[in-house]
Structure 1
Amino acid sequence: MAKIKKGDLVQVISGRTQARGGDRGKQGRVLEIIVEKNRVVVEGVNFVTKHVRVGQTQRGTKTGGIETHEAPLHISNVALVDPESKKPTRVGHRVETNAAGKTVRVRYAKKSGKDL
């Protein structure tokens, strides 16, 4: 079972600080997970510029120019955010039975020593 899924709120825990132009400490939603490369795309984090060649669409409008979009980060550089404390936390799994009586594994945010 994956620790981080699409739509989760995560925080960048490594890299350059925001004071030095980096993304460490920023929080955002996971837009995409690239399982083969162990990478995630986080909303509003790790922007890169891409030069797109000028072309035409079917309607005749011009496309191209310089675009900015989010680039993938390695999954080890982000941590899931605890919904209660809004701080990065580790993830655990618990076996529970749902309303239909089926046994399922559920993710939960572990409490760190500082939060107790």
Structure 2
Amino acid sequence: MAKIKKGDLVVVIAGRDRGQQGRVLEIDKERDRVLVEGVHRVTKHIKPGTSRDNQSGGIVEVEAAMHISNVMLVDPETKKGTRVGYRTAEVEQDGRTRTKRVRVAKRSGKDVE
């Protein structure tokens, strides 16, 4: 199970874009890939008429997927990269007590969400 989810703020820890931060746009769990907004941009050659956005074709820059091990969640308190752990919490829901797994930043100990 991936500890990074769609919408999380992550920092790149390896590769040419090391140190850059961005939001996770998409996760491919089968290939362990993640798409981060504004990071790992590559040039792509588009044929004319293949997409609605670019009817004329040409060269465009798009985000490329990178391996999930090359990104790290940003700690909400220190704004630096952190590992992720889990803890169980008792949650009152519909009049019943349920246990729920909550993500926790290892660096500061604060809940992530």
TM over 0.5: yes
Identify the match of residue 99 of structure 2 among 84, 90, 103.
103
- Is the alpha carbon distance of 1:92 and 1:55 closer, same or farther for their aligned partners in structure 2, counting shifts above 3 Å? same
Distance 1:91 1:108 in 2: 6
Post-superposition shift, 1:54?
Answer: 1.3
Instruction: Report SS of the residue matched to 1:111.
Output: coil
> Any stretches of 5+ residues in structure 2 without a counterpart?
109-113
Instruction: Report SS of the residue matched to 1:54.
Output: coil
Q: Which residue of 1 aligns with 2:24?
A: 30
- Is the alpha carbon distance of 1:102 and 1:46 closer, same or farther for their aligned partners in structure 2, counting shifts above 3 Å? same
Query: When you count helix as a share of all residues, which structure comes out higher?
Result: 1
Paired residue total: 104
Distance 2:39 2:65 in 1: 9
Instruction: Report SS of the residue matched to 2:23.
Output: strand
> Any stretches of 5+ residues in structure 1 without a counterpart?
16-21
TM-score (norm 2): 0.84
Q: Structure 1 stretches (4+) deviating beyond 6 angstroms?
A: none
Post-superposition shift, 1:50?
Answer: 0.7
Q: Which letter maps to 1:111? A: R
CA-atom RMSD in angstroms: 2.0
